[in-house]
Structure 1
Amino acid sequence: MSKEQTQIFKVIFINQGQVYEIYAKAIYQSDLWGFLEIEEFVFGERTQMVVDPSEEKLKNQFEGVIRSYVPMHSIVRIDEVERLGVARISEAPSGGNIMSFPMPVPSK
């Protein structure tokens, strides 16, 4: 990827029993302890005749959102990708081998 091209990140996280796979141009650690900030969401263009309902649901859910704060323990994976894929929501596997990363409890 050349320096002139914009970086695109694929972020996979779990939210309320569902796996979210979204694309964004900016991600970074938040000033809010234990959160990751995701900005500049990227969704596919509507140039195709077939519309993916999962991507449309995500697009509607994040419409008007400037920045999203995702708890770090919900993050499954972050990849820097060369090209935009399809954003989607899927059901989290039940009884699978995905576990939340243990987080220390903050003390006062």
Structure 2
Amino acid sequence: MSKRRPIYRVIFQNQGQTYEVYASEIYQSDLHGFIEVEEFLFDERSGVLVDPSEEKLKSEFSGVLRSYIPMHAVIRIDEVEKEGVGKITESRTDPRNSNVSPFPMPPGPGK
């Protein structure tokens, strides 16, 4: 019996948006405070309908072999049975409207 290849759904925040990506490899990075995501999976449908959010995600990660995501940006990682459709959505950072808010960060230099 062959072992099936794991599929992970990674949900994280980046620049005011929530990303949902699928990958087959995830590791704790040697860079302190980061996770490594490799082998991104994108739905290769041959249909006529095109999801603009998924197309934006494909173009953003095209040519990326490995991505380092800060641990404080990760909302959730799930091992799933099958690949879904990746997407980018606007984050709702108002705590009255959402139960997800960005991790507080110190002000940048010169602020």
Alignment TM-score, normalising by the size of structure 1: 0.87
Q: What is the CA-CA distance between 1:19 and the residue it aligns to?
A: 0.1
Partner residue, 1:59: 58
Partner deviation per Cα, 1:51-74 (whole Å, 9 max, x = no partner): 111111100110000000000000
After alignment, is 31-40 or 89-98 more displaced? 89-98
Residue 17 (structure 1) aligned with residue 19 (structure 2): no
Partner deviation per Cα, 1:35-91 (whole Å, 9 max, x = no partner): 000000000003121111111110011000000000000000000000111100000
Q: What is the CA-CA distance between 1:99 and the residue it aligns to?
A: 3.3
**Runs of 4+ off more than 6 Å:** none
Alignment TM-score, normalising by the size of structure 2: 0.85
Distance 2:41 2:57 in 1: 11
Distance 2:58 2:2 in 1: 28
Query: How many percent identity over aligned positions?
Result: 58
Count of aligned positions: 102
| 5+ long unaligned stretches in structure 2 | 106-111
